Amino acid sequence: METYGLHRYPGRLFIVEGVDGSGKSTQIALLRQWLISEGYTVFFSEWNSSPLVKKTTSRGKKKQLLTPTSFSLIHATDFADRTEHDIIPPLKAGAIVLADRYIYTAFARDVARKVDRQWVRELYQFAVKPTVAFYYRVPLEVSLSRILTGRTELKYYESGMDLGLSNDPQESYKMFQERIVNEYEAMVDEFGLTVMDATLPIPEQQRRMRKIIRPYLQGVRRIRSSAQESAWAGLAREMRPSHPDIQVRDR
Amino acid sequence: MSILAERKQKGLNYHGGRKDSMTRLAFYGIDAIHLEERDELLPGRLIVIEGTDSVGRSTQLRLLRPWLESSGYAVVDTEMTRSKLVGAGLKQAKEGHTLGPITLNLFYATDFVDRFESQILPALRAGFIVLTDRYIYSLMARALVRGADPHWIRSIYGLALKPDAIFYLHIGVEDLIPRVLQRGGFDHWESGMDMRLGADLFESFVNYQTLLLAQFEAMIEEYGFEVIDASQPVARIAEQLKERVLPLLPQG
């Protein structure tokens, strides 16, 4: 079994992290569109999405069967299934894998639930180390207002009600998020997370993200040229109606 | 014969053979559940029966339980994949063909921790004798055979409490085969068919069980297994188990 840092694959793995309401999902969705338009093969993987494990997790949440430790383990199981199916094989095949939330989400949430810091890090030893891990940093009051306005219900585990911090879900959520932010901040140096200012305008954040990623794209195979190059190629083809057999290379 | 009478016969005093009358809070690794913070003592006993598939663990547990209960000990038994949380989900996942080795190991770990926290610990707190059909050792052996990183798997199960006793039913592959046949043939998972270690079920079974037994053997000393020869008749094994369980029991 290969462990964190030892994996060597031709693909690239870019991940985004941050609290709810940091805007990270928006950024990775924009990045995905761009990479596709540039002609790369892109795989997208979301937190908590394994078809094998999903049912068990939602059962555990609905019936409130989860302790901090089993909560941690069921999410690690979910992540393992994604690693074995959605992350390692595409990376081996030379694709670009994008992940919305990664192991740092588990580290932040589980430790906020008082799971042992060291134990949970060892639990995720099988994970692939990302090429770049972006952390979308946002002031707590900004993310809280983004999430709490216009939203009526917070779920039990989502708001950290299992911790017994407060009987009020909103109050509990705030206290839980605060702990999570503290964990993220402590991980910036520990894991070399790339900090992004999530208060900037969305296009500016995206511009910076692409700039950071661009050097890592060197040597990654494209299935076709970028949309822009294809447009030029198409134009060139139209310009030569008398020579229909002339192939314009678009690979 | 009652347990008390047996005790007298063996010359064990009222306080039994143990100095401490509690399951001590000792772990193999990190106390990730923070038991040390909340549990000053666990008055119950944790007794583990380990051994490979079809070695006769459940037969022995079926004999031990009424023996203990008839002497007034409250007994709880537990076995793998029976957790409320993942029991059903794990079974379903194993029926498909997409379950990878790391995912399988973690599914088992989740099942274990759920049973540990919701069955084993409460019973130990309440002073029960907990008989468990397999513990972390089988889970680690299976994981290691499937190529898991030894450090990784040990640190996950490091949160488990060290049992009061681990009885390892020891058997060789050649003695195992007739038992499996008698019981109805070779099972997909017990033959390690997820790893395809042979051309057919039988070959894979032999190769898989050989690897598994080697893992168990390597654990005997490290974890202090009490080895019991499982090729003996059932009644003889039961006798030996009772003899060894007796001094572990709480008094009064």
Please judge whether A69 and B113 are an interchain contact, meaning their C-beta atoms are less than 8 angstroms apart: yes
Residue B32, chain A, CB below 8 Å: the answer is yes
The low-confidence residues of chain A, meaning pLDDT below 70, are: 151-152, 238-251
Average pLDDT, chain A: 90
Q: What is the CATH number of the domain that holds B139?
A: 3.40.50.300
pLDDT of residue B1: 52
Q: How far away is chain A from the Cα of B199, in angstroms, using its nearest Cα?
A: 24
- Residue B58 pLDDT > 70, yes or no? yes
Residue A158 touches chain B, beta carbons under 8 Å: no
Amino acid of residue A196: M
CB of B159 less than 8 A from some CB of A? yes
ipTM: 0.86
Q: Do A122 and B159 touch (CB under 8 A)?
A: no
Pick from B28, B37, B84, B114 the residue to mutate for testing the A interface (most A CBs within 10 Å): B114
- A80/B152 touch (CB, cutoff 8 Å), yes or no: no
Domain range holding B113? 3-248
For A203, the token pair is 């296009």
B106 touches chain A (CB under 8 A): yes
As a whole number, mean pLDDT of residues B39-54 equals: 89
- Domain count of the fold of chain B: 1
pLDDT of residue A248: 44
A137, two tokens: 């940093």
The residue count of chain B comes to 252
Partners of residue B34 in chain A, C-beta under 8 Å: 114, 116
Which among B31, B84, B156 has CB closest to A65? Answer: B84
The pLDDT score that the predictor gives to residue A249 is: 45
3-state secondary structure chain B: CCHHHHHHHCCCCCCCCCCCCCECCCECCCCCCCHHHHCCCECCEEEEEECCCCCCHHHHHHHHHHHHHHCCCCEEEEECCCCCCCHHHHHHHHHCCCCCHHHHHHHHHHHHHHHHHHHHHHHHHCCCEEEEECCHHHHHHHHHHCCCCHHHHHHHHCCCECCCEEEEEECCHHHHHHHHHHHCCCCCCCCCCCCCCCCCHHHHHHHHHHHHHHHHHHHHHHHCCEEEECCCCHHHHHHHHHHHHHHHCCCC
With CB atoms and an 8 Å threshold, state whether B34 touches A77: no
- Judged by a CB distance cut-off of 8 A, whether residue A59 touches chain B is yes
Q: Do B107 and A77 touch (CB under 8 A)?
A: yes
* Interface residue A162 vs chain B (CB under 8 A): no
Residue B196 exposure: Cα atoms within 13 Å on the Cβ side: 1
Q: B209 falls in which pLDDT band (50, 70, 90)?
A: very high
Q: Per residue in A163-200, pLDDT tens?
A: 999 999 899 999 999 999 999 999 999 999 999 999 99
Q: Do A56 and B86 touch (CB under 8 A)?
A: yes
Asked if B46 is an interface residue toward chain A (Cβ–Cβ < 8 A), one would say no
Contact B32 A73 (CB under 8 A): no
In this structure, are residues A75 and A106 in contact, taking their beta carbons and an 8 Å threshold? yes
| Residue-level pLDDT at A172 | 93
CA distance A121 to chain B (A): 10
Per CB-CB distance under 8 Å, the chain B contacts of A67 are: 33, 113-114, 117-118
| Residue of chain B with shortest Cα separation from A122 | B152
Average pLDDT of chain B to the nearest whole number: 88
Contacts 24+ apart (CB under 8 A), A212-218: A212/A132, A212/A134, A213/A14, A213/A31, A213/A132, A216/A12, A216/A14, A216/A131, A216/A132, A217/A12, A217/A38, A217/A40, A217/A96
CATH number of the domain located at residue range(s) A12-220 in this protein: 3.40.50.300
Q: Does B86 touch chain A (CB under 8 A)?
A: yes
Chain B CB contacts of A81 below 8 Å: 98-100, 103
Query: Could you tell me the pTM of the whole model?
Result: 0.88
The arithmetic mean of pLDDT across residues B199-215, rounded, is 95
